[in-house]
């Protein structure tokens, strides 16, 4: 039986423990926000999606039953569903927004170059179908294994592998000039 590292914190959140809520937020917010930002390519929409996902967490924490599903899997699924909802409401969302992502650890030139590269990669990601994009992001930027990513997406591992293969192929064709070989 796998041990859920969040189970204790979720139980405390269910009892109204603010410190536990803060700890849970600190643990998951950066990755959730990065995922939402890459899915939606719009900072404010991504923040709304993540805030809504946390609201679901605060509301459901008291009813959470450990052992049924891994908490993190559930949280990622909720976040992705929020992203899908927003993409359906505004179909052009992922394609039109600017993609500047600052990296505070580098100099201005490197940052500019890095931002340009990131923008290009994000643009290519945005052109992928939603499910392929989500699969690629979960496996390559969120360090989820195939089994967990499949659980988050609600598909079989074979279906996930198919999504990944098609997504990677498209990315490689679109971005071949960047780093191929």
Partner 1 sequence: MAEENSFDRSAASAEAQGDAAFAARLLADLPSVPASGALQACILADFDAVAAKRNASLWAVALRPVRKLRDAVWPSAPAWQPASIFALSLVLGLAAGALVPSSALTGAGSGQDETQTFDTIPSLDLSGDF
Residues of this chain that interact with partner 1 (CB under 8 A) are 13, 16, 18, 21-22, 25, 29-31, 33-34, 37-38, 43, 46-47, 50-51, 54-55, 58-59, 62, 101-104, 114, 117-118, 121-122, 136-137, 140-141, 164-165, 167-169, 171-172, 175, 178-180
Task: Answer for the pair 23, 9: CB distance below 8 angstroms, yes or no.
Answer: yes
From first CA to last CA, the distance across the chain in angstroms is 42
CB-nearer residue toward partner 1: 77 or 168: 168
Residue closer to partner 1, measured from CB, 33 or 134: 33
Quote the least distance from Cβ 121 to partner 1, whole Å. Answer: 6
Q: What are phi and psi of 119, to 5 degrees?
A: -65, -40
**13 vs 80 by CB, closer to partner 1:** 13
Residue 94 vs 167, nearer CB to partner 1: 167
For residues 50 and 87, which CB has a smaller minimum distance to partner 1 in the complex?
50
Q: How far is the CB of 153 from partner 1 (least distance, A)?
A: 17
Buried b (16+ CB within 10 A) or exposed e, 108-134: eeebeeebeebeebbebbbebeebbbb
Cα angle: 60, vertex 67, 151; to 5 degrees: 80
CB of residue 22 vs partner 1: minimum separation in angstroms? 7
| 80 burial level (CB within 10 Å; 0-12, 13-18, 19+) | buried
CB of 162 to partner 1, least distance (A): 11
Least distance to partner 1, CB of residue 115, Å: 9
Instruction: Quote the least distance from Cβ 31 to partner 1, whole Å.
Output: 8
7 or 25: CB nearest partner 1: 25
| Whole-angstrom distance, CA of residue 122 vs CA of residue 126 | 6
Q: How far apart are CA 27 and CA 34, in angstroms?
A: 13
């Amino acid at each position: 039986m796998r041990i859920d590292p969040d189970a204790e914190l979720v139980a405390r959140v269910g009892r109204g423990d603010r410190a536990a809520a803060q700890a849970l937020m600190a643990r998951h917010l950066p990755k959730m926000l990065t995922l939402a930002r890459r899915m939606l390519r719009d900072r404010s929409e991504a923040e709304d999606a993540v805030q809504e996902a946390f609201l679901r967490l605060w509301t459901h924490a008291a009813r959470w039953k450990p052992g049924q599903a891994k908490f993190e899997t559930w949280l990622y699924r909720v976040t992705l569903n929020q992203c899908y909802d927003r993409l359906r409401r505004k179909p052009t969302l992922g394609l039109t927004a600017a993609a500047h992502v600052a990296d505070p650890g580098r100099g201005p030139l490197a940052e500019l170059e890095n931002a340009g590269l990131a923008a290009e990669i994000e643009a290519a990601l945005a052109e992928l179908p939603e499910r392929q994009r989500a699969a690629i992001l979960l496996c390559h930027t969120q360090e989820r294994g195939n089994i967990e990513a499949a659980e988050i997406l609600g598909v079989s591992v074979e279906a996930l592998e198919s999504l990944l293969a098609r997504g990677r192929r498209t990315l490689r064709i679109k971005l071949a000039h960047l780093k191929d070989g």
